[in-house]
Amino acid sequence: MKVFKGAVRSILDRPFIWVYFGIIALIYSIIDSINPLTALLMGFNRIGKGDFLEMIIYSIQIFINIMTNAGTATKALIVFIILLLVVSLLMGVAFSGYFNVINNVVRKKDKYEGEFFEGLKSYFLRTTFVSLRALLTSIFVIFTALIAAVPAVIITKSWISGRQELTIVAAFVDVITVGALILIFMFFSTYISFWFPASINNDKSAFLVGKENADKIFWKLSLRYILFFFIFLICHFILSRLSINPEEIDLAGNIKRFAVFVANWFFNTVFFSFAITYVFSAYKLSETYVEEDMDDDYTEEQYKELN
């Protein structure tokens, strides 16, 4: 509760945190509203007469086909590198100053003019390089997790289709797979998230410093990340299901789509501005962590000190 309340108070004390991310979330929501990928994923059964498993397997087959052709693999690699660099540079521009503002407010520093641009100037390269490595790590982890989950999904699908002799096997494989994926997510999310505040507060060895601090509060922090992850998935799944209905082309349908668009923008603004501030608050706490610090509520004196 201590980190939670600290993050909330930081956002309330510095409205720039949610206003700025609200702009980013608006841009994202606009892109997402015209992006065909969401409709493809949610409507795959209708479009391809398949299911999510088939889509994963088909995607892996496309990747293997691309990699086994030298010419195609070279072109795909060049495009991948360019996109990765562009996204990393954009993240450096968008978040280096933003992280500086959040870092200052959670560390109780007074607001000053040019705070954002000072962060952009000082931390642009750091944020860009950390973003590049974090993106590469994320792609590797996600791809590995998808491949690892395929056997469990295949066995489960066979069991659902009527092969009752696979009941014990399906249950065993599913439990092992889900447990492994949860552990992967816990380690990945905790260490990657602390990499960013560590890079703002340390000139060298940011990942090692972030990992060292993350280890102090690993289990408490990672369990909260799992909660955040499920909240994000559930809310976005509901919003995606509400927004995808090509048959609704009348006025009521347009109003509904606009309402979902606004809800999507609002949720992303609140969720991510809070999540980022929470990470920086947790990182600050971890630097001088004492057991039970994350759960103990602030005293009145501690609240005054925080602000």
SS (H, E, C) the chain: CHHHHHHHHHHHHCCHHHHHHHHHHHHHHHHHHCCHHHHHHHCHHHHHCCCHHHHHHHHHHHHHHHHCCHHHHHHHHHHHHHHHHHHHHHHHHHHHHHHHHHHHHHCCCCCCCCHHHHHHHHHHHHHHHHHHHHHHHHHHHHHHHHHHHHHHHHHHHHHHCCCHHHHHHHHHHHHHHHHHHHHHHHHHHHHHHHHHHHHHHCCCCHHHHHHHHHHHCHHHHHHHHHHHHHHHHHHHHHHHHHHCCCCCCCHHHHHHHHHHHHHHHHHHHHHHHHHHHHHHHHHHHHHCCCCCCCCCCCCHHHHHHHC
Residues 6+ apart with CB under 8 A from 9: 303, 306, 307
Q: How many CB atoms lie within 10 A of CB 64?
A: 10
Count the alpha carbons within 13 Å of 256 in the hemisphere toward its beta carbon.
15
Query: Which residues does 286 contact at the CB level (< 8 Å), separation at least 6?
Result: 194, 213, 214, 216, 217
H/E/C letters for each residue in 219-263? HHHHHHHHHHHHHHHHHHHHHHHHHCCCCCCCHHHHHHHHHHHHH
Neighbour-count burial of 202, counting CB atoms closer than 10 A to its CB (0-12 exposed, 13-18 middle, 19+ buried): middle
- pTM, two decimal places: 0.82
pLDDT of residue 52: 60
Q: CA 275 from chain center: how many Å?
A: 9
Q: Into how many domains does the chain fold?
A: 1
Amino acid at 5: K
Select from 271, 261, 297 the least CA-distant residue to 31. 261
Contact 124, 92 (CB under 8 A): yes
Query: Residue 138: which domain range?
Result: 2-306
Q: How far apart are CA 199 and CA 145, in angstroms?
A: 27
Structure confidence by residue, pLDDT tens digits, 99-109 = 999 999 998 88
Q: Which of the residues in the chain have pLDDT under 50?
A: 42-50, 298-307
Q: Are 269 and 21 in contact (CB under 8 A)?
A: yes
Take residue 87 and report the two structure tokens written for it: 């996204």
Summarised one tens digit per residue, pLDDT across range 127-162 is 999 999 999 999 999 888 888 887 887 888 778 777
pLDDT of residue 302: 47
CA-based end-to-end distance of the chain: 16
